[in-house]
Amino acid sequence: MAFKCGLAITLAFAIVCMANAGDPDILSDFVVPFNVSPDPNFFTYTGFRVLVGEEPPMTFKVIKASLAEFPALNGQSVSYAVLQFPASTVNPPHTHPRSAELLLLIEGALEVGFVDTTNKLYTQTLQVGDMFVFPKGLVHYQYNADNKKLAFAISAFGSANAGTVSVPNTVFNSTIDDTILATSFKTDVATIQKIKAGFAPKA
C-alpha cells in the first residue's frame, strides 16, 4: 500500500512538472550576462532594421529575435521571428519543442497547417490580418502558393528559445542508417540515398 501511495505521489509530481515545463521562472526583474551593465541598448533589438528597404529574398528566409540574438530575452518567455516567403516557397514541416507559435500574416496569402497526435491535419488559407496558432510541439508548415507575390508574416513564441526541428533535415540529413529509413518509409535504399543527396552541402 505504501508503495502504491508513493508511486501515485511520484506520478502526480511528474505530471505537475510536465504541465509547468517551459522557460524557468526567474527571481529577479531580468537576467543580465556576466560582465554586462544593463542600459537601454541592452533591452533594444535592432536586427529587424535590415528589413527596411531590403529587396525581397530569393528563397524562404527567417530572421529571429530569440535568446541567441537578443540576450535580454533570457527569463522573459517570449521571442519573435519574421518570415519572408517569395513566390511558391515553403517553410518545410517542422516543430518547436518548447513553445506554441502564433503567426500573424502581414502581406500576401499563406497556406498553413499542422498535424495533431492522432494524425489529423488542420489546414487554413490565411489572408492579410489573419492569425493562426500552431500548438506546441506539433509538426506544422507554411506555404506561399502564389507564383508571383511575396508573403510576409511575424511569429510570436512563448519561449525565449522555442527551438526548431526541421522534419526533412532531421530525417534525411542525419546519420540514421539508410536501411532503417527505407524500411520506415516503405521504400528502397536507393530512393533514400537520392533524397539524402538533396540535403548534402553544396560545394
Instruction: Point out the annotated binding site for oxalate.
Output: 91, 96, 101
Contact 185, 92 (CB under 8 A): no
Which set of grid coordinates corresponds to residue 193?
540515398
**Which residues contribute to the annotated binding site?**
91, 94, 96, 101, 140
81-116 burial code (b ≥16 CB/10 A, e <16): bbbbbbeebebebbbbebbbbebebeebbbbbbbbe
**Which residues contribute to the annotated binding site for Mn(2+)?**
94, 96, 101, 140
Q: Kindly report the CA angle at 77 between 73 and 81, in degrees rounded to 5?
A: 70
H or E, element range at 75: none
